[in-house]
Amino acid sequence: MEDVCEGKDFSFPLEEQRVLELWARLDAFHEQLRRTEGGEEFIFYDGPPFATGLPHYGHILAGTIKDVVTRHQSMRGRHVMRRFGWDCHGLPVEFEIDKLLGITNRQQVLDLGIGKYNETCRGIVTKYVAEWEAVVTRTGRWIDFKADYKTMDINFMESVWWVFGQLWDKDLVYKGFKVMPYSTGCKTALSNFEAGLDYRTVPDPAVMVSFPVVGDADNAALVAWTTTPWTLPSNLALCVNANLVYAKVKDKSNGTVYIVAESRLGQLPVKAKASGKKQAPSKGSNAEAVQGGLDTESYELLAKIPGSSLVGLKYTPLFDFFLEFQDTAFRVIADNYVTDDSGTGVVHCAPAFGEDDHRVCLSAGIIEASGLVVAVDDDGHFIEKISQFKGRHVKEADKDIINAVKDKGRLVSKGSIEHSYPYCWRSGTPLIYRAVPSWFIKVEKIRDQLLECNKETYWVPDYVKEKRFHNWLEGARDWAVSRSRFWGTPLPVWISQDGEEIVVMDSIEKLERLSGVKVNDLHRHHVDDITIPSSRGPEFGVLKRVEDVFDCWFESGSMPYAYIHYPFENRELFEKNFPGNFVAEGLDQTRGWFYTLMVLSTALFGKPAFKNLICNGLVLAEDGKKMSKSKQNYPSPMEVIDEYGADALRLYLVNSPVVRAESLRFKRIGVFGVVKDVFLPWYNAYRFLVQNAKRLEVEGLTAFSPIDQASLRKSSNVLDHWIHSATESLVSFVHQEMDAYRLYTVVFSGYFTWSCFHLPMLWPNLIATLSLQVVPYLVKYIDNLTNIYVRFNRKRLKGRTGEEDCKISLSTLYHVSKYSNIQF
């Protein structure tokens, strides 16, 4: 045995470095895989992080959870393949390249060339690979970086094609024109769950605008309220609720007549009593200018009108940009989505920029599906048709549009509202809602199946499954899976010039067979120019690929199949072991990866993609705010690891509310507390064992060799039996809690699990002797070991009751320290 130092002089970080070096020399991780090969498979899906940044505490937390579970399963004899993955496509990469190359619009990419753009994207993907491997390895996690998978690899991409091809064959794919969240910063549509990733409380203009009713005897005007003035140039209809009662009122100061919902009369601007000037209601759509309804000093009630009688009325357009629609547009329609809990009970409809607007205008015949004009381009600027504001970004044009409305005498009131508004999770710019053509998966068609598949899964904590995820599935809508971008897996859809013939490629072999072209890469610049002869004959020309690429969430949702190149390879491995056993990620993935996994597996196989799931919460800065590099409100992970060790950090993270999907305010002192309260007491118990074992040799007695456990059971000392029983209870508790995936009661540390694969003798330090930690069960066990067993057996351990009794006591201390490692 090596000499041991005082606890205050012992360095856990340095000892971890020694263990890492030993693991590397022995190729320990791969040796474990070799030894368990052929055993029962435990399938673990590792969600791919974006490769455009460095790992943070959230990654270390998720990595620790994954490492705890997969180590436990490996130590139970199961074969656990662990391959690191990289999410290589999509907005994160393109956004970085756009900044690097100074690209601000789509045309600049086309001028540069898609090939050059994509190869630049490919080059940045591996920028941080070395840093990731260094940090992940230093945290003690065992995972294979050499056999990693990348979503940009041709095998992965081919499996993604296969997934889409299967959905196409099942009639679960269609092309549509839909109003979707749209990022002008990244110049692409976002899925609904992406749009929900970054909501911010921000101020926006809130205006009331009048729309004079054609032929009204009182020259009345309907009044609509909006927080998006930039949509007013595209107004084509007004929508009311046929079941509401509306009121026609006259402004006593100037004779103007307005029509609004009776319950919203308090929203109309009133005279300020002191100055005699009109003023708008205070901020917020629910602010009442006069509590309880109409201000009779300012307005006279002329009539009450049922909402149904307003339907069909024509009104004077606000702008003349869409006069070609005047035969069908600029009239009042009705729908129940209009409520009287905000605004005026009259909604201005711009069908290209609102999901409900688009739906009701189509239904009422205001527009046709093929005739919609989208007056805003991909960069968020008004097109030539909106001549007065052409080239202006919509958000920047708000003020001028309001002034134009005022100049027309149509501005009833102007104010502002502070509300929650979605921002692009990548560019940080406010989203708009914009009609875009896209390819959709019919999620609504399989919604009931999704809910049934969710019931077959086990989540920790279960309330995330039963509440948050269930509710999200219950309201699931068709999923737009295409993006009008460049760096991604191309949609495998080839269409004829007349649109009558569509061929979906579900393999490279099929594309090569139909086109006669050898394919070595599936990215856009390699397949966009490949054409297919029409099956109807040469007179029908050739089929060309659509320009879109897949949403990167579709790729990550395809991971269970694509990372092993199923069905082109590994058929038996997949089909015998699907659904997978385990996944783990953060709470935000309930609307991200967990969702896309569930949608695709349900659509493909009628099964969930996974059986067991651990969902962690967010790691925040000590002040409760989001960790920010610019604010420097948290210590760097490597700084903490270098000071206290990776295992202290791992245990601190996993023994916290964050493993129950709650938030954790990261505190450096908390990591120190783990060292002080858990590691040092255990180390001191081990040090006491080593010192007394070496003392036997110093005193000329027989060198210490632990007595076998069968012989120790014959010990007459009641404390020996007691500590053995306590250890067995600890081990039993670990089995019970790990089988239930409750890591907040059971924690495996990375470095502490090694001795079960190596030395028959105890490691010369704490790091090698501790394989599992149960908190608070573990803390109590340590207290029992150090303050009861060691304290009450000091004379025996020091040899004062005879050499034989000393060896029995030392052997007992040895085995209880090592027993858990051998069992697991």
The string of pLDDT tens digits covering residues 458-504 is 999 999 999 999 999 999 988 989 988 899 999 999 999 998 999 99
Nearest Cα to 789, choosing from 737, 709, 733, 727?
A: 727
Q: Give the model's pLDDT for residue 772.
A: 35
Non-local CB neighbours of 102 within 8 Å, separated by 6+ positions: none
Structure tokens at 200: 């911010």
| Backbone phi, psi, residue 145, to 5° | -85, -30
Choosing from 46, 67, 87, 805, the catalytic residue is 87
Average pLDDT over residues 2-23: 84
The proportion of the chain whose per-residue pLDDT surpasses 70, expressed as a percent, equals 92
Measured at the CA of 732, the angle between CA 729 and CA 738, to 5 degrees, comes to 135
722 counts as catalytic: no
Mean of the pLDDT values across residues 23-39? 94
For domain 203-269+292-422, say whether CATH 3.50.50.60 is its number: no
What is the pLDDT at residue 819? 57
Active-site option among 455, 626, 780, 795: 626
Domain ranges in the chain with CATH number 1.10.730: 670-820
Q: Which of 629, 631, 780, 795 is catalytic?
A: 629
Residues of the chain with CATH 3.90.740.10: 203-269+292-422
- The answer to whether the CB of 800 falls within 8 A of the CB of 37 is no
The answer to whether 817 and 685 are in contact (CB under 8 A) is yes
Residue 689: pLDDT band with limits 50, 70, 90? confident
What local confidence, expressed as pLDDT, does residue 275 receive?
Answer: 46
Q: How far is CA 99 from each of CA 1, 62, 337, rounded to the nearest angstrom?
A: 58, 29, 41
Distance (Å, whole) CA 644 – CA 108: 49
For residue 434, CA distances in Å to 84, 180, 182, 397 come to 37, 6, 6, 16
- Is 652's pLDDT higher than 50? yes
Catalytic status, residue 48: yes
Name the catalytic one among 32, 73, 166, 589: 589
Which range, of 13-22, 282-291, 632-641, averages the lowest pLDDT?
282-291
Do 556 and 596 contact (CB within 8 A), yes or no? yes
Residue 202 pairs with which residues in a beta bridge?
Answer: 419
pLDDT over 90 (residue 274): no
Instruction: Determine which one of 132, 593, 682, 754 is catalytic.
Output: 593
Whether the CA torsion 346, 350, 351, 353 is positive or negative: it is: negative
Residues in Cβ contact with 642 at an 8 Å cutoff, skipping those fewer than 6 apart:
13
Q: Is 682 marked active-site?
A: no
Structure confidence at residue 820 (pLDDT)? 41
Indicate if 589 belongs to the active site: yes
pLDDT value at position 272? 58
The total of other beta-carbon atoms located within 10 Å of residue 434's CB is 23
Q: At what angle do helices 91-101 and 114-125 cross, to 10 degrees?
A: 110
Judged by DSSP in three states, 160 sits in helix
Cis peptide before 776 (omega within 30 of 0): yes
> What's the pLDDT band for 782 if we cut at 50, 70, 90?
confident
Token readout for 736 is: 């019970």
Mean of all residue pLDDT scores within the chain: 88
Q: Check whether 73 has a pLDDT greater than 90.
A: yes
On the question of pLDDT at 560 being above 60, the answer is yes
**CA gap 70, 72 in Å, rounded:** 5
pLDDT reading at 280 higher than 90: no
Averaged pLDDT, 288-297: 64
Nearest-angstrom CA–CA distance, 568 and 754: 37
User: Residue 510 above 70 pLDDT?
Assistant: yes
- AA letter at 713: R
From the number of C-beta atoms within 10 Å of its C-beta (0-12, 13-18, 19+), residue 450 rates as buried
Q: What is the pLDDT of residue 91?
A: 80
273 tagged catalytic:
no
Per-residue pLDDT tens over the stretch 731-767: 888 888 888 888 777 654 445 443 333 322 223 333 3
Give the Å distances, CA to CA, from 224 to 82, 252, 285, 339, 819. 57, 20, 12, 12, 75
Whether residue 750 contacts residue 139, with contact meaning beta carbons closer than 8 Å, is answered with yes
Q: How far apart are CA 505 and CA 494, in angstroms?
A: 8
pLDDT confidence of residue 205: 95
pTM over 0.85: no
Per-residue pLDDT band for 627 (boundaries 50, 70, 90) equals confident
**262 CB neighbour count, 10 Å cutoff:** 19
The pLDDT of 16-41, averaged and rounded, is 94
d(CA 79, CA 401): 65
Residues 195 and 182: their CA atoms lie apart, in Å, by: 8
The pLDDT of 290-309, averaged and rounded, is 85
Q: Which CATH number fits domain 12-170+551-666: 3.90.1210.10, 3.40.50.620, 3.40.50.2300, 3.20.20.70?
A: 3.40.50.620
Look up residue 161 and give its two tokens.
Answer: 């094609």
CA-to-CA distance for 329 and 321, rounded, in angstroms? 12
When mean pLDDT is compared across 236-250, 327-341, 645-659, the lowest value belongs to 645-659
Residues of the chain with CATH 3.40.50.620: 12-170+551-666
Task: State which fold the 670-820 domain adopts.
Answer: Isoleucyl-tRNA Synthetase; Domain 1 (1.10.730)
DSSP SS3 for 230: helix
- pLDDT for the residue numbered 746: 61
Cβ distance 136 to 54 under 8 Å? no
Give the C-alpha distances (Å, rounded to integers) separating 627 from 425, 622, 672, 727: 16, 9, 20, 40
Q: Is 44 helix (H, G, I), strand (E, B) or coil?
A: strand
Confidence label for 200 from pLDDT (cuts 50, 70 and 90): very high
**Cβ distance 214 to 313 under 8 Å?**
yes
Residues in the chain: 824
Among 48, 317, 492, 560, the active-site one is: 48
Residue 626 among the catalytic residues: yes
Number of H helices, E strands in the chain: 32, 30
Distance CA 256, CA 248 (A): 10
Q: What is the pLDDT of residue 747?
A: 54
* Residue 184 near residue 426 (C-beta atoms within 8 A): no
Spatial CA neighbour of 411 closest among 248, 247, 258: 258
> What is d(CA 66, CA 610) in angstroms, rounded to the nearest whole number?
14
**Cα separation of 237 and 333, whole Å?**
7
CA distances from 568 to 119, 157, 162, 464, 703 (A): 27, 12, 9, 35, 60
Nearest of 734, 730, 710, 684 to residue 812 by alpha carbon: 710
At 2 the pLDDT is 65
What is the average per-residue pLDDT within 249-254? 94
Catalytic pick from 425, 487, 553, 763?
553
CA distance 5 to 346: 79
Q: Is 754 considered catalytic here?
A: no
Give the dihedral sign, CA 623/627/633/637. Answer: positive
> For residues 803 and 701, is the Cβ–Cβ distance under 8 A?
yes
Predicted confidence at residue 742, as pLDDT, reads 85
Asked if residue 678 lies in contact with residue 89, where contact means CB atoms within 8 angstroms, the answer is no
Instruction: Select the more confidently predicted residue: 606 or 680.
Output: 606
DSSP structure class, residue 469: I
In 3-state terms, the chain is what percent helix, strand and coil (to 5)?
A: 45, 20, 35
Contacts of 444 (CB under 8 A, 6+ apart): 476, 477, 478
3-state secondary structure of 501: coil
